Amino acid sequence: MRSLQRQRKIYLDGFAGRKPSTPVSYAGLEERARQVLPPEAFAYLAGGAGSETTIDANRRALDQVKIHPRMLGGVQEVSMQLPWRAHTLPAPFMLAPIGVLEIAHRDGDLAEARACAALNVPMIISSQASHPMEAIAKQLGSTPRLFQLYYSKSKELSQSFIRRAEAIECSAIVVTLDTTLLGWRLRDLSLGYNPFIMGKGIAQYYSDPVFNALPDPVLTDSTKPPLSFDLIRNLISLNNRIPGGLIHNFSTGKAMKAARKFTAIFSNPGINWEDIKLIREWTSLPIYLKGILRPDDARKAVAVGVDGIIVSNHGGRQIDGSVSSVEALHGILAAVKDKLDVWLDSGIRSGSDVYKCIAMGATGVLIGRPYAMALACNGQQGVIDCLTNIMSELELHMALSGCHTINDINQDLISHPWKTI
């Protein structure tokens, strides 16, 4: 088993006086990321909405799922493989779409993609990535990829993103439903920090022909920030980021216009079930809805003919006091299991967490903050280490509880307190 080799290597390195270069626990990853990142970048990655009770709820719910391991299963070899669409995944997880990864590491999504390629773990490319999807796809090689869509106020732009996702051979489109507006995020508000205003995380937009052809927005808010050193520094950063060059962008106002245009059309709070039907008509790719937390919404997802859902509260970044995704999963599975793929994210930190969600009946899970923190700690190698550690723990959990394959991880092996709403 690969997990045994990994354990052995780490212990032997320790014997030779070398500690793992990437922290092994999530707490360790977060602590190291806090040390190496500027305070605003760390706050953006780690923070949630309001008093962050949803982040806590995600963890508390997972803690309430108890594993009852079965003995004498005679498990000498374990297969964590999951058949998914045309692919065989090495383990039942993918990497969640995380925007603005350039604030975690200068190579951002490109480093993430290379780590995915090293392990053949699917990557969900974010609408808010720091690099155009075509550049990310190059790093992925033949590794499975999906594209996450924030449905824009411009339908033509959303269509263009989907066409580009088809061209880079995405296996599915993931439409995120829970971020039609940014949540009330106290850490970012306290620091007055919004990366998008600085031109970060908008690479899909300025690399898009439809976006570039959209008219510049009419300015209605004439409030100008006072001139300061930080303002000049941020203006230089913004003008450097958008293609065209610093001088050209400054003299034409191109970068400012692009950032304003993005803010004006980024997401469409008016999105409704009719729009999902429209997206269904636009593409023959499988469609997944991300952000479902209620059984009735899951039933509607089945009714409009999407292929899967991702039960998620966006890692507690949108609604303070929201139901945890693991708690919501139980009722949702009771409503729609076997009618479509049900994935989950929000709070997954370890192989044990992956095991619990699979046992509850999820098809698989998305790993979010752990890989983003690992990227901040140690770049591409950090992400590889983080994912390998999660796989190792999952493999050991399976072996220690009598499971030969993913299908053996089932309801009989866990208990939890929830009932259907």
Ligand X SMILES: Cc1cc2nc3c(=O)[nH]c(=O)nc-3n(C[C@H](O)[C@H](O)[C@H](O)COP(=O)(O)O)c2cc1C
In the bound state with ligand X, the residue whose beta carbon lies nearer, of 249 and 308, is 308
Classify 220 as helix, strand or coil.
Answer: coil
Calpha distance 64→79 (Å, rounded): 26
Question: Contact region for ligand X (CB under 6 A) — 123-131, 152-160, 226-234, 246-254?
Answer: 123-131
Q: Ramachandran region of residue 286, left (φ > 0), alpha (ψ -120 to 50) or beta?
A: beta
**CA-based nearest residue to 416, from 333, 350, 310:** 333
Count how many residues are written for the chain.
421
Q: Which of 92, 108, 308, 347 binds ligand X (CB under 6 A)?
A: 347
Q: Where do runs of H (alpha helix) occur along 168-316? A: 186-191, 203-206, 209-213, 229-241, 246-252, 254-265, 273-282, 295-303
Q: Closest distance between ligand X and the C-beta of residue 351, in Å? A: 14
- CA 56 to CA 41: how far, in whole Å? 21
Which of 97-105, 228-236, 390-398, 402-410 is the region at the interface with ligand X (rule: CB under 6 A)? 97-105
Q: Verify binding: residue 45, ligand X, rule CB under 6 A.
A: yes
Q: Count the residues of the shown chain that bind ligand X, applying the rule CB under 6 A.
A: 22
Q: How far is the CB of 147 from ligand X (least distance, A)?
A: 11
| 23 is a contact residue toward ligand X (CB under 6 A) | no
324 binds ligand X (CB under 6 A): no
Decide: 147 and 251 in contact? Cβ < 8 Å: no
Question: Which residues are bridge partners to 366 per DSSP?
Answer: 94
Q: Which stretch binds ligand X (CB under 6 A): 1-9, 31-39, 307-315, 326-334?
A: 307-315
Stretch of 73-81, 163-171, 298-306, 343-351 lying at the interface with ligand X (CB under 6 A)? 343-351
* SS3 label, residue 36: helix
CB of 286 to ligand X, least distance (A): 16
- Bin 361: left if φ > 0, else alpha if -120 < ψ < 50, else beta: left
Q: Is 397 part of the annotated catalytic residue set? A: no
Stretch of residues binding ligand X (CB under 6 A), selected from 31-39, 187-195, 273-281, 339-347: 339-347
Per-residue mark of binding to ligand X, 126-145 (x: CB under 6 A): xxx-----------------
Site for ligand X in 226-285 (CB under 6 A): none
Among 315, 361, 379, 382, binds ligand X (CB under 6 A): 315
Q: Which of 105, 314, 330, 397 is catalytic?
A: 314
Cβ nearer to ligand X, comparing 109 with 408? 109
Given 91, 94, 98, 406, the residue binding ligand X (CB under 6 A): 98
Task: Note whether 92 binds ligand X by CB under 6 A.
Answer: no
Nearest approach, Cβ of 94 to ligand X (angstroms)? 10
Taking the alpha carbons of 390, 391, 392, 397 in that order, is the dihedral positive or negative?
positive
Residue 249 CA to residue 229 CA, distance in Å, equals 19
Site for ligand X in 161-180 (CB under 6 A): 176
Token duo for residue 194: 């919004």
Which whole-number Å values give the CA distances from 399 to 2, 80, 81, 221, 328, in the listed order? Answer: 12, 11, 14, 60, 28
**Under DSSP, is residue 228 helix (H, G, I), strand (E, B) or coil?**
coil
What is the contact surface with ligand X in residues (CB under 6 A)?
Answer: 44-45, 96-99, 126-128, 148, 176, 290, 312, 314-315, 317, 345-348, 368-369
Write out the catalytic residue numbers: 314
